[in-house]
Amino acid sequence: MKALITYEDFTKVDIRIGTIIDVQDFPKAHKPAYQIQIDFGALGIKKTSAQITALYSKEALLGKQVSAVVNFKPKQIANFLSECLILGIQNGKEVVLLETKKTIKNGEQVS
């Protein structure tokens, strides 16, 4: 278990729902990954890189709603600037994405 945090610590993390609108291969990544664009409604479109190629095809990801941390500082990954982090669960060597069961308005905050 990680260190305990306060509720105020948790409120600093901005987790939003967004819809994946574009998925491209990321050949310059060290491990197989995609370059993904996510529509967060009023927050705009943000880019991220995700090592989820084993469980998800590009076609299966298009239109999928995901939850992501949107207030990380951008991170340079090879020739790509990642602006958010899609949330998932480590399942062995693979990551299973956290998904909503119902369609949610893009940009809604997870609480």
Query: How confident is the model over 10-68, as pLDDT tens digits?
Result: 999 999 999 999 999 999 999 999 999 999 999 999 999 999 999 999 999 999 999 99
Are the C-beta atoms of residues 82 and 74 closer than 8 Å to each other? yes
Are the C-beta atoms of residues 46 and 84 closer than 8 Å to each other? yes
Distances in Å between the alpha carbon of 67 and those of 24, 29, 78? 19, 22, 24
**Which one of 3.30.360.10, 3.40.50.720, 2.40.10.340, 2.40.50.140 gives the CATH number of domain 7-97?**
2.40.50.140
Is the pLDDT score of 99 beyond 90? no
What pTM does this model have? 0.94
Ramachandran quadrant class, 78 (left: phi over 0; alpha: psi -120 to 50; beta: rest): left
